[in-house]
Chain A
Amino acid sequence: MSDSNYNEISRNGLWNNNVALVQLLGLCPLLAVTGTVINGLGLGLATLLTLVLSNAIVSMIRHLVRPEVRVPVFVLVIASVVTAIELSMNAWLYELYTILGIFIPLIVTNCGILARAEAFASKNSLLPSIMDGLMMGVGFLLVLVTLGAIREILGYGTLFSNAHLMFGEMARDWTLVFVEDYSGFLLAILPPGAFIGMGLIIALKNVIDKRIQKQQKLKTQANHTSIENEVTA
């Protein structure tokens, strides 16, 4: 596998084929837990780990599994990995676990993970599959964190509150307060805020994509005209 392929995998995972923004998969946990940055980061990391592990395992067993039973086997792999992660979080990140609660086991139902197993890991060798899982996971995590940041700033007027749930006691004063005595903006905290925020992020991505496209068109046009000019000269 050449470097350009890894570049393409990265670009796909982070931007062009982003799980949340383009494939629109895994929206249920995405919209439900992104009330704060730390919640988003927690779920994002758990999903990222699941993606990497499930992609790696699926890629390793891809020659062993018959096509007829591949989907149930993938589901089994994903379910086992998620349950193992859930138990580990319960043991070592207990407080964060109690906040994310039901959404950790629900990672199983994140279609993004099964989609990567089926569309990529079952057809590629180990390293590219891990890379794909990593990049897709990071892409998903970035959206979770961005949405969490928007909703936390608007809703609570803070950023990185409750960081100690993840990083221990020393993170207790990482919280950035933007507005003192902020009375809170309920809409941003409640589910509608998640939908609106998500819509805005997708819209922003589309605007950026369009702008890039336009620039590329201009560039190719410019190239063409310059070539034509040379020819006529």
Chain B
Amino acid sequence: MNNNRYILVSGLILGLFAVIGTALVGITHEATAQKIADNERLALLGKLNQILPHDKYDNELLNTTIELEPDQRLGQEKESTVYIAKQQNNISAMIFSVIAPKGYSGEIKMLVGINIDGTLAGVRIVSHKETPGLGDSIETERSDWVFGFDGKSLLDPNERQWKVKRDGGVFDQFSGATITPRAVVQAVHLCLIYFDRHKDELIQKHIKKARIQTSTADNPGAES
């Protein structure tokens, strides 16, 4: 009997600490949740702004989005978000989340911005696991390589030259690393083709969504 009681008290002590520990985590979460969400929005907006500077759009970029079904051509196995940039209520560019599946070590996640006329506004790498010192030249901190996409389109260079130089294309590879730039070039090219084929469909989708949004505009908290 005494022994049972001893076990019970020990168990209760353990339970008490579980409650206290959870409370501590809960309180910290409450205190930081808003700040963390803000940080993530700011970080995302910062990345989007690298592709499209502030003066290139005048809408709320983070709130003007459409959702895409999973699509192999964008390397996405989950739903992805497209950010729509507007100037005086006309769509000026779209920013896609693209994954290049064939990096040297795994996926390369990136953002691809395409102007409405089909030229590239810019490409930025979001995350990758490429070899430091070789493949990581795709980062803007390491080299200017990724700026080479600015202004390119499906027609310039032509289809056969949308490759790295070693494969007969126009894009530089890095010394000691061809696989990484090849994967990025290919993914950007596929994204351009996707945009070319689905542009009108995407615009329709956006207009439809915008209509729903304006009808619920009395309640701005609903959209986030």
Contact = CB atoms under 8 A, between A and B. Distances in A.
A176 to B, nearest CB: 17
A24 interface: no
Interface in B15-49: 17-18, 20-22, 24-25, 28-29, 31-32, 35-36, 39, 43
A83 B31 CA distance: 13
B101 to A, nearest CB: 22
A220 interface: no
A66 B28 contact: no
Contact of A186 (B17, B43, B132): B132
A29 B18 CA distance: 26
A69 to B, nearest CB: 5
A155 B131 CA distance: 13
Nearest to B32: A91
Interface residues of B, number: 25
Interface stretch (A10-18, A74-82, A110-118): A74-82
Contacts of A189: 132-133
B13 A64 contact: yes
B180 to A, nearest CB: 15
A85 B38 CA distance: 18
B49 to A, nearest CB: 16
A183 B43 CA distance: 30
A218 interface: no
| Most central of A84, A92, A184, A189 by chain B CB within 10 Å | A84
Contacts of B24: 80-81, 84
B178 to A, nearest CB: 17
Contacts of A127: none
A102 to B, nearest CB: 13
Contact of A73 (B14, B28, B43): B14
Given A84-B24, A84-B25, A184 B133 contact: yes
A84 B18 contact: no
B41 to A, nearest CB: 11
A43 B15 CA distance: 31
Interface residues of A, number: 30
A66 B29 contact: no
Contacts, number: 69
A48 B14 CA distance: 26
Contacts of A92: 35
A166 to B, nearest CB: 15
B133 A80 contact: no
Given A73-B17, A186-B131, A91 B25 contact: no
Nearest to B12: A69
B134 interface: yes
Contacts of B43: 94-95, 98
A84 B28 contact: yes
A186 B14 contact: no
A65 interface: yes
Pairs A-B, 9 closest by C-beta atoms: A80-B21, A91-B32, A91-B35, A94-B39, A84-B28, A184-B133, A87-B32, A69-B14, A66-B10
21 contacts: A65-B13, A66-B10, A66-B13, A72-B14, A73-B13, A73-B14, A73-B17, A77-B21, A79-B21, A80-B20, A80-B22, A84-B24, A87-B32, A87-B36, A90-B36, A91-B31, A91-B35, A184-B132, A186-B133, A186-B134, A190-B132
Given A65-B17, A66-B9, A155-B133, 7 more contacts: A64-B13, A83-B28, A87-B25, A90-B32, A91-B32, A91-B39, A94-B36
Interface of A: 35, 61, 64-66, 68-69, 72-73, 76-77, 79-81, 83-84, 87-88, 90-92, 94-95, 98, 155, 183-184, 186, 189-190
